[in-house]
């Protein structure tokens, strides 16, 4: 069963922009807290940003000022606007939902705090 579906990835040059989208299936009852993670081969999954229904939006230091997370709760869509992309942003980006909670932690999202994951969308930034 597909619970989360990401889209919007692609290949851009340094300084370019992309907007990722994630649509959550109605099979997930609680989508108050959702987040974006990224991962490269051989590395641990890294939290990028999260957003909950109360407006809490923690970001990783590496993306602050460049990425903006937002959520359309009614449409069940999570977005990640990525501006001024850098080669080090190259990764597979995953959407996740924290079902066992009604708000996001105030710190950068941790994979252990999230329960469901999408299949990912690739972002490649070339110099």
Q: Dig out the tokens for 27 from the structure.
A: 């099979």
Question: Cα 68 from chain centroid?
Answer: 10
Structure confidence at residue 72 (pLDDT): 96
Q: Dig out the tokens for 60 from the structure.
A: 């990783």
Structure confidence at residue 84 (pLDDT): 98
Closest CA to 73 of 55, 48, 60: 55
Report the alpha-carbon distance of residue 108 to residue 80 in Å, rounded: 15
Structure confidence at residue 1 (pLDDT): 78
Query: What is the full per-residue pLDDT of the chain (127 aa) written as tens digits?
Result: 789 999 999 999 999 999 999 999 999 999 999 999 999 999 999 999 999 998 889 999 999 999 999 999 999 999 999 999 999 999 999 999 999 888 999 999 999 999 999 999 999 999 9
The position carrying tokens 């709760």 is: 73
Q: What is the dihedral angle through the alpha carbons of 56, 59, 65, 70, rounded to the nearest 10 degrees? A: -50
Closest CA to 48 of 17, 19, 89: 89
Instruction: Quote the Cα angle for 91-104-83, to 5°.
Output: 40
Structure confidence at residue 19 (pLDDT): 98
Structure confidence at residue 2 (pLDDT): 86
């Amino acid at each position: 069963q597909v619970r989360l579906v990401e889209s919007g990835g692609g290949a851009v040059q340094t300084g370019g922009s992309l907007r990722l989208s994630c649509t959550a299936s109605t099979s997930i009852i609680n989508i108050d807290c959702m987040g974006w993670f990224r991962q490269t081969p051989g590395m641990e999954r890294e939290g990028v940003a999260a957003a909950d229904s109360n407006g809490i939006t923690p970001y990783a230091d590496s993306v602050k000022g460049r990425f903006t997370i937002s959520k359309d709760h009614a449409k069940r869509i999570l977005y990640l606007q990525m501006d001024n992309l850098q080669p080090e942003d190259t990764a597979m980006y995953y959407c996740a939902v924290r079902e066992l909670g009604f708000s996001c932690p105030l710190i950068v999202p941790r994979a252990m705090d999230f329960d469901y994951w999408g299949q990912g969308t690739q972002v490649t930034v070339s110099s």
